[in-house]
Amino acid sequence: MKKILLVLLVSILFGCSSLHEHKYSKANYQQPAICTICQKESGFPLQPDFSKYNIYLNMDIGKTYQLTTVCKDDKTIYTIANVEIVEYINDYQDDNHKKDIDFQWKRVVLKLTFDDNNVVENGASINYLTTNYYNIGQYVSSYNYNHDNSCYEFTVNYYGIDYTNCRLKIYAFDNDWKNENDEYIKEYVLTFDFYIPIGFDGMVVGIRNAAIDASNFSYFYEYYDSEQFLLFRLD
């Protein structure tokens, strides 16, 4: 009798599946399905869209990458953009960017430099993008501009919870032409400030070849080409 009681006690302590029917929560992008009674895991987290559609993150902080794109005034003339992540702050705070209990700001700054005669004569065409590493469709469907708050708003799902009041502020600066060794150089600086749940690592920013006609597509993975995109993830 004592042995039976001991076995029963050990089974209870370890949450033996024979003593209850598992009741699993839904899997999400951060964790698999989990039994709400004994915390047993089942299966795997949901597959991120970047993995599903073979989209590559191909930028690191402080390195310069070249991207072939087209000029502004004549789309048949090509130029080279030198693209660099010049700053990434995982927990950005100032007087206008306050951290609270559930949300934080993340800032990333991109610099694009053009130094060929094609841009001098025809201007530069810049196409940037922002998206969600995990769920591209949710990002696109929820993304809208709030004129009252002067920012974009969107939704992300984090540990199974939809956070509907995420924000994005974008600042674009067009620096004056510089003349170095009789060569003209044009710089553009793009700053992206994301207001997202603390710990969320799914925001992505990037630059794509402006020659791509995306007018007939809803999602960028439909026309994605790794040689035509430079992408950076705010992890």
> What would the two tokens of residue 206 be?
């990037």
Domain ranges for the chain:
2-42, 49-234
Calculate the average pLDDT of the chain.
90
Q: Predicted confidence band at 37 (pLDDT cuts at 50, 70, 90)?
A: confident
Cα–chain center distance at 190: 15
Per-residue pLDDT for 7 more than 70?
A: no
- Tell me the pTM: 0.88
Closest to 137 measured CA to CA, from 46, 220, 215? 220
Average pLDDT, integer, range 147-170: 97
DSSP-assigned beta bridge partners for residue 171? 191
The predicted-structure confidence for 54-81, as pLDDT tens digits, reads as follows 999 999 999 999 999 999 999 999 999 9
Average pLDDT, integer, range 129-155: 97
d(CA 220, CA 140): 10
Q: How many CB atoms lie within 10 A of CB 114?
A: 22
Place of tokens 């600066």: 173
E strand spans, the chain: 33-34, 41-42, 64-70, 78-92, 103-114, 127-132, 144-146, 151-158, 161-174, 178-180, 183-197, 203-208, 229-234
> What would the two tokens of residue 180 be?
């170095």
The predicted-structure confidence for 176-185, as pLDDT tens digits, reads as follows 878 777 678 8
Q: What is the structure's pLDDT at 18? A: 56
**3-state helix, strand and coil shares in percent for the chain, rounded to the nearest 5:** 15, 45, 40
